[in-house]
Chain A
Amino acid sequence: MSPPERSFVRGPAWLLVRRRLAQAPLVLLFVLVGAFLLLEAAPGDAVDAYVASLGGDAGFVRELRERWGLDRSAPTRFLLYLAGLATGDLGWSVAFDRPVLAVIAERLPVTLALAGGATLFAFALGTGLGILAGARPQGPLDRILSAAALVLNATPSFWLGLLLALLFAVRLRWLPLAGIETIGAGYSGLVRLLDLARHLVLPVLTLGLVYAALYLRLMRAGMVEAWRSDFVRAARAKGISRRRLVLRHVARNALLPVVTMLGLQSATLVGGSVVVESVFAVPGLGRLAAEAVTQRDFPLLLGILIVSALLVLLVNLLVDLLYARIDPRVELGARTP
């Protein structure tokens, strides 16, 4: 007789979701206060950034500061920002002269496609090669893969990006070098999607390869550890095939730290792609965040931080749910002592 099914709304998964949702506003407030204080500590404001690039006289500087509300005290500006936020208004980007929400909405899908694609690629490649390396620790394949992972892990992403660009875009001309679409082509539907995918191949490869090296090393290390476990010895004693032993027992147990890393890596989805977005001219959130800092566009930067904090919360929630699928010993909804 199978155990009674528990509905999602009453089950431990729902408890976890509810608890994370309850924590979210506090996390967001913490992020906002921290970010605002850091930004206030930075020298210069949006008007300084504006006149540094476009010039202006003293009267213009004063007028601009009034127009952008930067003549008010920092606490007043922050309270006004929070009041706006409470009504769902993320504010006005002074650098782009548009609502923050509109600017972010334009860039978020691109970053999700880039970071999501890179994560999937890195996870699949890294764990796959990690299993190959960890299947026979210290074997020739392990040595080759571990050395390659070390080299890749130590490679700066901008340099790797330029190398890939030189090979695939400049020499072979197989792939486009920059941007996310063919300008003025007017593609739509599936053709547009394929065009977008083609443009994202090099940035996804660049971002993904560096993370793949990390996953490979983690997976391999986890498997080396698992080989020494009692349950593996017991499984061996039972005489099960090596293939089954590696995949069902060793690799599965080594997967947990990799999944943990997947969650942690989500926190770098925005920041980690700044360099790759710049090299391949991908208009994503990472580049936008860098521009917001340079332009001292505080509403825009706070908006980006809110979105990225929400993304981190969401991904970590998904990772926790995934834990329970991989390892039944993990109890969802249980409070940590």
Chain B
Amino acid sequence: MRLTRRCLLASATAPFLLRAGAARSRTPHRGGVLVVAADTEPRNLNPALVASNGVFYVASKVIEPLAEMAYGEPGFTPRLALGWQGSPDGKSFTLRLREGVRFHDGRPFTSADVAYCALELWKKHQNLGRVFFVDLEAVETPDPHTAILRFAAPMPAQLIENALPALTAVVPRHLFEGTDPLANPHNQKLVGTGPFRFVEHRPGQYYRLERNPDYWDAPKPHLDGIVYRVLPDRGAIAAALEAGEIQLAAFSAVPLADMQRLAKLPGIAVIDRGYEGITYLVTVEINHRRKELADVRVRRAIAHAIDPSFVVERIFLGHAKPAIGPIPRFDTRFHTADQPTYPYDPKRAEALLDEAGLPRGPNGVRFSVELLPAPWFEQTRQMGDYLRQALKAVGIEAKLVVKDPAGHQKAVYTDHAFDLAIGSPVYRNDPAISTTILYQGGLPPGVPFSNQYGWADPAMDELIARAARTVHPAERAELYRRFQRIAAEQLPLIPVVEFTFLTVASTRVHGVADNPRWAVSNWAETWLDA
């Protein structure tokens, strides 16, 4: 897999990025506790059950997946699996597991743990695994270091490989077997094989991890421990960095408006990479049950009314790129630029709306819509403000309806009580993991971040199903290029920009952003100056 590094969009941060890069060549220092900001405390911290970035941020240091993403070829770093091979018919996938690995309670890691997690946790309970592993029939364990996944229907090896970093965290079978996995106390008091051991969680205050002296990749980790300070206020996170009370804030936890100021401070670096593997999109979600919006000309008009460059420059302050389709550019295996685009052109938008039989009324309004910006990010809320103005310019009156997460989830994904919404789906290293679900028809209501838009196209559904079963990588890639072309022609939702996050860190912190999922990887190579 080829991954292109994100270009540095903000010139102000470039010198600091260079400094961070230069520091990486130095010899790592052993010791020190890294204190970082955390703004959420997930109820369930077990990544084998909840594949979510909020969970991975803490848990990935304790509980490891079978493989992690890496920059350059082949795109993966082995973790608990040393190698893997899919069968030609796609019905089995053999994993060769690492030997000599022990869980933090001293018990050895074996193929039995992988088999248990795959069948009992990933397949039955995990938020993404319940759909992804639906055809997983059995896991054979011919020896303690080999696990063979058997599927009822063909499952592309490429797809499984792409899912290894996010969907295959392994917890000890002996602590979960015979219990209700969702109520197991080790969903909070984590036990894994990772470079750090879970010490304590003081709700509302902090998580504390300590170095695992028996880590299989000795002499790593370099740090003595990691403390996640729960800081719910973003302004306070910036102040805590300045005061030296924390040394790192990931996931753009500091407001973008503060970044340039922080980047100029001595001893602080803004790092613009390490998130490519979890690229997000800002999308306009469209309710096709609304007569006007069911007309593709109207959807194209809305796309023409939006200026992605404005969104990049003014909302993301340069830290984003205009999107071309639902698959981000960095995934060169699947992304294609060969698809229809809708450049900013308000006149063309107005012409399309006239053509669709929606002329401006006496008050200049063609029709009115309710617009629900997702509350997940500051930028999705701001995008709502911008879209309202952009639509007004072409004669569409949008009424902003702002809700909290539970209210938004119910309104958009359960009750379908919206006309337009601003979404922010994440791309997870393969279109079949969490992208095609945005276009797949026939899904029951209540499923978040999925096609709840009332749009259904049998041709698209057939294409999505075929691509998820096609074993040959080149054929799969071609199917996803067709998928992108249909998505762009029909425009059931409008991808506006793609964005990742920024890390702000003390220049004392090294080994940052060394893989495309760095913030949610194990930080075994991260270290602090003496």
A72 part of interface (Cβ distance < 8 Å): no
- Contact present for A178 and B410 (CB under 8 Å): no
B447: chain A residues within 8 A (beta carbon): 56-58, 61
Of the stretches A78-86, A95-103, A115-123, the one at the interface is A95-103
B341 lies within 8 A of chain A by Cβ:
no
Contacts of B205 in A (CB 8 A): 179-181, 183, 281, 283
Interface string of B225-237 (1 = CB under 8 A from A): 1010111110110
- The answer to whether B448 touches A56 (Cβ under 8 A) is yes
Which 7 pairs between the two chains have the least Cβ-Cβ distance?
A283-B204, A44-B406, A49-B406, A52-B409, A43-B407, A44-B410, A52-B405
For the complex formed, measure the closest distance between the CB of A282 and the CB atoms of chain B, giving whole angstroms. 8
Our pick among A57, A169, A183, A296 for the contact of B206 (Cβ within 8 Å) is A183
Kindly state the separation between the CA atoms of A103 and B202 in the bound complex, as whole angstroms.
11
CA distance A178 to B233 in the complex (A): 10
Which of B35, B127, B225, B408 contacts A57 (CB under 8 A)?
B127
5 inter-chain pairs at a CB distance below 8 angstroms, sorted by A residue, are A46-B406, A48-B405, A169-B245, A281-B233, A283-B203
A64 — nearest CB in chain B belongs to which residue?
Answer: B182
Distance (whole angstroms) from the CB of A51 to the closest CB of chain B:
5
A69–B231 Cα distance when bound, in Å, is 32
The interface residues of chain B lying within 8 Å CB-to-CB of A183 are: 35, 205-206, 208, 227, 229
Does B462 count as interface, using CB distance less than 8 angstroms?
no
Q: B130 near A59 (CB under 8 angstroms)? A: yes
Selected from A43, A54, A103, A294, the residue in CB contact (under 8 A) with B44 is: A54
What's the nearest-Cβ distance from chain B to residue A37, in Å? 17
Question: A103 near B239 (CB under 8 angstroms)?
Answer: no
Within 8 A of A (CB), among B41-61: 42-44, 50-52, 54-55
Does any Cβ of B come within 8 Å of A60's Cβ? yes
Residues in A with CB closer than 8 Å to B225 are: 184
With a cutoff of 8 Å between Cβ atoms, the chain A residues found around residue B43 in the complex are 50, 54, 94-97
- Given A55-B127, A67-B182, A281-B232: A162 touches B42 (CB 8 Å cut-off): no
B206 and A279 within 8 A (CB): no
A54 pairs with B50, CB closer than 8 A:
yes
Q: Is B266 an interface residue (CB 8 A)?
A: no
* Docked pose: A47 CA to B496 CA in angstroms: 29
Say how far B407's CB is from chain A's closest CB, in angstroms: 4
**Number of residues in B with C-beta < 8 Å to the partner?**
58
Q: Do the beta carbons of A45 and B130 come within 8 Å of each other?
A: no
In the complex, what distance in Å separates the CA atom of A56 from the CA atom of B52? 10
Q: B188 in the interface, Cβ–Cβ < 8 Å?
A: yes
Whether B239 and A55, one on each chain, are in contact in the complex, defined by CB atoms closer than 8 angstroms, is: no
Complex interface bits, A155-174 against B, C-beta within 8 A gives 1, otherwise 0: 00010001001100110010
For chain A, the bracket of interface size reads 35 or more
Whether, in the assembled complex, A107 has its beta carbon less than 8 Å from a beta carbon of chain B, the answer is yes
B460 at interface by CB-CB < 8 Å: no
CA of A283 to CA of B236, assembled, Å: 15
Specify the chain A residue showing the minimal Cβ separation from B207.
Answer: A183
Task: Output the residue of B42, B54, B203, B411 with the most chain A CB within 10 A.
Answer: B203
A103 vs B232: C-alpha distance in the bound complex, in angstroms? 18
Task: List chain B positions with a Cβ less than 8 A from chain A.
Answer: 33, 35, 40, 42-44, 50-52, 54-55, 125, 127-128, 130-131, 182-183, 187-188, 202-206, 208, 225, 227, 229-233, 235-236, 239-240, 242-245, 403-411, 414, 443-449
Q: Pick the residue among B55, B202, B403 that contacts A43 (CB under 8 A).
A: B403
Instruction: Provide the residues of chain A in CB contact with B42, threshold 8 Å.
Output: 53-54
Task: Give bound CA distance, A168 to B527, whole Å.
Answer: 29
Within 8 A of B (CB), among A276-310: 278-281, 283-284, 287-288, 294-296
Q: How far does the Cβ of A49 sit from chain B's closest Cβ, in whole Å?
A: 4
Smallest beta-carbon distance B226→chain A, Å: 11
A179 touches B130 (CB 8 A): no
**A54 interface neighbour in B54, B244, B407, Cβ under 8 Å:** B54
Known: A45-B406, A281-B230, A283-B204. A53 touches B40 (CB 8 A): yes
Task: Determine whether the beta carbon of B127 is less than 8 Å from that of A60.
Answer: yes
In whole angstroms, how far apart are the Cα atoms of A177 and B43 in the complex?
Answer: 26
A223 to chain B, nearest CB (A): 38
Nearest Cβ on chain B to A213's Cβ, whole angstroms:
23
Chain A nearest Cβ from B28, distance in angstroms: 22
**Additional A-B contacts beyond A54-B44, A61-B446 (13; CB < 8 A):** A45-B406, A51-B409, A52-B448, A54-B127, A55-B127, A62-B446, A94-B43, A165-B243, A176-B245, A177-B239, A284-B204, A287-B232, A294-B406
Chain B residues near A89 (CB-CB < 8 A) = none
- Given known A54-B54, A281-B230, contact A103–B236 (CB-CB < 8 A): no
Complex contact B245–A55 (CB within 8 A): no
- A191 CB–B CB distance under 8 Å: no
Report the bound CA distance from A42 to B411 in whole Å.
Answer: 12
With a 10 A CB-CB cut-off, give which of B130, B131, B245 has the most chain A CB atoms: B245
**B206 and A54: CB pair below 8 A?**
no
Residue of A48, A67, A97, A158 touching B409 (CB-CB under 8 A): A48
Residue numbers in B under 8 Å from A56 (CB-CB):
127, 130, 447-448
Q: Is A40 an interface residue (CB 8 A)?
A: no
List A contacts of B203 (CB < 8 A). Answer: 96, 103, 106, 283
Give Cα A177–Cα B444 distance, bound, in whole angstroms: 47
